[in-house]
Structure 1
Amino acid sequence: MGSCAYHWGRANKRRVATGLETRYSCCMGDLQSEGCCLASTHVSDNLNPDNYTGFVSTLPPNPGTSSHHAVYALDCEMCYTTGGSELTRVTVVDHDSRVVYESFVQPHNQILDYNTRFSGITEEQLEDVTTTLRDVQAALLTLFSSSTVLVGHSLESDFRALKLIHHTVVDTSVLFPHKMGPPYKRALRNLASEHLKKIIQNDGDSCCPRHDLNF
Structure 2
Amino acid sequence: MSGIMLNLDFNGSSHDRRQMKPAGNAKHKRFVKRRRHLERRGLLNKKQNTDNFHKEGHRNNQWHKQNKREDNSKAGAVFPKFSSAQCELSMTSSHSVQANHGNCVAETDKEGVPSCSTFCRESTSALQRVVPSLGNPQKYIAIDCEMVGTGPKGHCSELARCSIVTYDGNVIYDKFIKPVNLVTDYRTRWSGIRKCDLYKATPFKQAQREILKILSGKVVVGHGVQNDFKVLHYSHPECLTRDTSRMPLLNQKAGLSEDRTASLKILTKLLFNKDIQVGKKGHSSVEDAKATMELYKLVELEWERTVASKSGH
Computing the radius of gyration over CA atoms, which structure comes out larger, 1 or 2?
Answer: 2
Range into which the TM-score falls when normalised by the shorter chain: 0.5 to 0.7
Question: Partners of 1:204 and 1:123 in 2: how far apart?
Answer: 16
In structure 2, the partner of 1:74 is 143
1:140 lines up with 2:211 in the alignment: yes
**TM-score normalised to the size of structure 1?**
0.62
Which has a greater percent of helix?
2
Closer, same or farther: CA 205–173 of 1 in aligned 2, 3 Å: farther
Q: Does 1:188 align with 2:257?
A: no
Q: Which runs of 5+ in 2 are unaligned?
A: 1-128, 130-135, 292-313
- Runs (4+) off by over 3 Å: 176-181, 202-205
- Counterpart of 1:161 in structure 2 is 231
Following TM superposition, by how much is the alpha carbon of 1:133 offset from its aligned partner in structure 2, in angstroms?
Answer: 2.1
Residue 299 of structure 2: aligned partner? none
For residues 211 and 69 of structure 1, the distance between their equivalents in structure 2, rounded to whole angstroms, comes to 20
Alpha-carbon RMSD: 2.7
Shift of 1:165: 1.0
Ranked by relative contact order (alpha carbons within 8 Å, sequence separation 6 or more), the top structure is 1
In the alignment, the residues of structure 1 paired with residue 210 and residue 246 of structure 2 have an alpha-carbon distance, to the nearest angstrom, of: 27
Gaps of 5+ in 1: 1-59, 61-66
Q: Return the offset for 1:204.
A: 5.7
Take 1:112 and 1:123, find their aligned partners in 2: how far apart are those partners? Answer: 10
Shift of 1:157: 0.6
Aligned to 1:102: 174
Equivalent residue number for residue 179 of structure 1: 257
SS of match in other structure, 1:105: strand
SS at match of 2:178: coil
Asked if residue 127 in structure 1 is aligned to residue 199 in structure 2, the reply is yes
Which structure has greater strand proportion?
Answer: 1
Which of the residues 283, 289, 293 maps onto 1:213? 289
- Output the CA distance in 2 between the equivalents of 1:106 and 1:69: 29
User: What letter is aligned with 2:178?
Assistant: Q
Partner of residue 84, structure 1: 156
Q: Deviations over 1:138-194 (max 9, x none)?
A: 11232232x31011100011000111110211111001467384xx62111100011
- Does the 8 Å contact 1:78/1:119 carry over to 2? yes
Contact 1:68/1:144, CA 8 A, preserved across alignment: no
If the length of structure 2 is used for normalisation, what is the TM-score? 0.43
Supply the AA of the counterpart residue of 1:132: P
Among the aligned pairs, what percent are the same residue? 32
Q: Residues 189 and 104 (structure 1 numbering): CA distance in 2 closer, same or farther, change over 3 Å? A: same
Match of 1:47 in 2: none
Partner Cα separation in structure 2 for residue 99 and residue 112 of structure 1 = 29
